Structure 1
């Protein structure tokens, strides 16, 4: 029996992008079976109970590039089982080539994942034709899974131009995208014609929502520092849109924005991208809501001042969450 797929209209609210929690010793290349399944299940269940609307996983900070195939399958099954159909769960299936990507995506279907968060294979910088054809091939080969395009220019050496969005919007399985920045948001929205729900990062959500009414969902890695911050952002923007009074949402962004200040080394997204995994995992663990564990090699090395900035970001996010709890 064919599975019922989501549409762009089904993607709403706060979508947590989660790490793959690891056991102690995971930074050693000799390590095997590194997934902390108990923490992974607790993380997903806690996010859902806190009101998160969807789960995105196994992207960059999810360490899809550094897990073995067996570890990927264990983690997929763990989080899909933990979610138990309560919210959509998208798992990353990007591999170094199309055929392996298709094979892993088919396994994700068998496990019960709602969708795949799919980036472009990372070796050569792709041309427009290569990028579009990759998504066409996966969509043709695995028609019964939703696709969230993972649009990270630094990771995939591709700028995701308007012509790309216009073409992938023709694929019915492509319903959403993990989107970075807002400088090209309006032209990209025009290109997709409502067929793909673009998800800005939580720090851009307020501004993006004011730019276009179709922006009613976002991705948030901060959710695992304290999920109440992410759900509050969702709710204050929804209230503002319904009432036309954006003052409370603007004030909340004034409290949220400073938590990003020390996350990006020297204020640089490019520098952050070089150390994305250790920075995000340090931030998440410092938040105290979960234990992301050590990073898998080779992306386990990072300058200590950068790590401390990330930890400070996580602590600030958690402090905001605790303040919101007290205000309830």
Structure 2
């Protein structure tokens, strides 16, 4: 069990955020035990062998909202067993209320997860006081568990303002956050005062790292399309920070950026968020590095043109990974 809390300085490098691999019948509401345990173990081992620094799971694209309770426990155990302590494993434990969230977080701790990627309950749009108290309550109830705040404004109907960050920075268990965008980054960094490691998405990592030296880690869902792209991004930014020459990192970002273009329907994050799960799983399946499998209901329906864009994104990411392999 995770009895020692991490510090923000312990969170570094490229963190993969992974889907929950699904068996072939998972889109049928009648299906049970839909988690592909063998693929879970293969993916975890493959990511660790590739040099990934940590694993986040059971968020939106991880289908935490559509797995049964038993499936969640099965998946957590498969993740923890496969990782065997080699990298931190954070699992999503967000439920629709605080009491169920606490119960699931305790179970995750007992299974051996290092932390929880914790979003806000999805029902009413929370006030700032409600959002802050939720994190305080979970931290009080499970004080041994590291917390990564899952800061997704579309999913949780909350804009994560600077006063929120200032308040949750006072909670020792909150060590990191899955973060979106760079528009408010400097203000949010000022609010947290070094007490939380903010993880931007891979597509924003170069820009965020140029903005502030504390940004030395990021999250990557593309890692399961080809992990070498993620680790290369980590390494070129680290080299640039050491040498002061950002030319190679800038050039790599120019190769990475176009892989995002077709993932967001009509260039809209809001539209993407409506179909996040099928788009990400289509992207990952098309990348060919892992079998993410089908989408669990009710989110398995998605316009075909959107899916085709996601598949193209996954194929482009995988092509970049193969090109990097050929360079070695």
TM-score range, shorter chain: over 0.9
Which residue number corresponds to residue 270 of structure 2? Answer: 270
Which residue number corresponds to residue 20 of structure 2? Answer: 20
Question: Cα deviations across residues 148-179 of structure 1 (Å, max 9, x unaligned)?
Answer: 00000000000000000000000000000000
Secondary structure in 2 matching 1:308: helix
Task: Kindly report which structure 2 residues correspond to 1:153-172, keeping only aligned pairs within 5 A, or say none.
Answer: 153-172=153-172
Residue 102 (1) aligns with residue 78 (2)? no
Which residue number corresponds to residue 183 of structure 2? Answer: 183
Which residue number corresponds to residue 234 of structure 1? Answer: 234
Which residue number corresponds to residue 252 of structure 1? Answer: 252
Which residue number corresponds to residue 11 of structure 2? Answer: 11
Task: Kindly report which structure 2 residues correspond to 1:200-219, keeping only aligned pairs within 5 A, or say none.
Answer: 200-219=200-219
Aligned length: 328
> Deviation of residue 4 (structure 1)?
1.2
Which residue number corresponds to residue 65 of structure 2? Answer: 65
> Deviation of residue 93 (structure 1)?
0.0
The whole-number CA distance in structure 2 between the counterparts of 1:70 and 1:254 is 43
Which residue number corresponds to residue 123 of structure 2? Answer: 123
Show structure 1 runs of 5+ residues with no match: none
Secondary structure in 1 matching 2:308: helix
Secondary structure in 2 matching 1:160: coil
> Deviation of residue 189 (structure 1)?
0.1
Show structure 2 runs of 5+ residues with no match: none
Secondary structure in 1 matching 2:100: helix
The whole-number CA distance in structure 2 between the counterparts of 1:135 and 1:258 is 36
The whole-number CA distance in structure 2 between the counterparts of 1:25 and 1:104 is 26
Secondary structure in 1 matching 2:103: helix
Question: Cα deviations across residues 261-307 of structure 1 (Å, max 9, x unaligned)?
Answer: 00000000000000000000000010000000000000000000000
Residue 221 (1) aligns with residue 221 (2)? yes
Secondary structure in 2 matching 1:16: strand
Could you state the TM-score of these two structures normalised by the residue count of structure 1? 0.99
Asked if 1 retains the 8 angstrom alpha-carbon contact of 2:152 and 2:179, the reply is: yes
Question: Cα deviations across residues 181-202 of structure 1 (Å, max 9, x unaligned)?
Answer: 0000000000000000000000
Could you state the TM-score of these two structures normalised by the residue count of structure 2? 0.99
> Deviation of residue 3 (structure 1)?
1.1
> Deviation of residue 2 (structure 1)?
7.7
Which residue number corresponds to residue 132 of structure 1? Answer: 132
The whole-number CA distance in structure 1 between the counterparts of 2:163 and 2:77 is 36
Question: Cα deviations across residues 80-125 of structure 1 (Å, max 9, x unaligned)?
Answer: 1000000000000000000000000000000000000000000000
Secondary structure in 1 matching 2:61: coil
Which residue number corresponds to residue 295 of structure 1? Answer: 295
Change in CA separation of 1:175 and 1:24 when aligned onto 2, cut-off 3 Å: same
Which residue number corresponds to residue 45 of structure 1? Answer: 45
Q: Point out 4+ residue stretches in structure 1 off by more than 3 angstroms.
A: none
Residue 306 (1) aligns with residue 306 (2)? yes
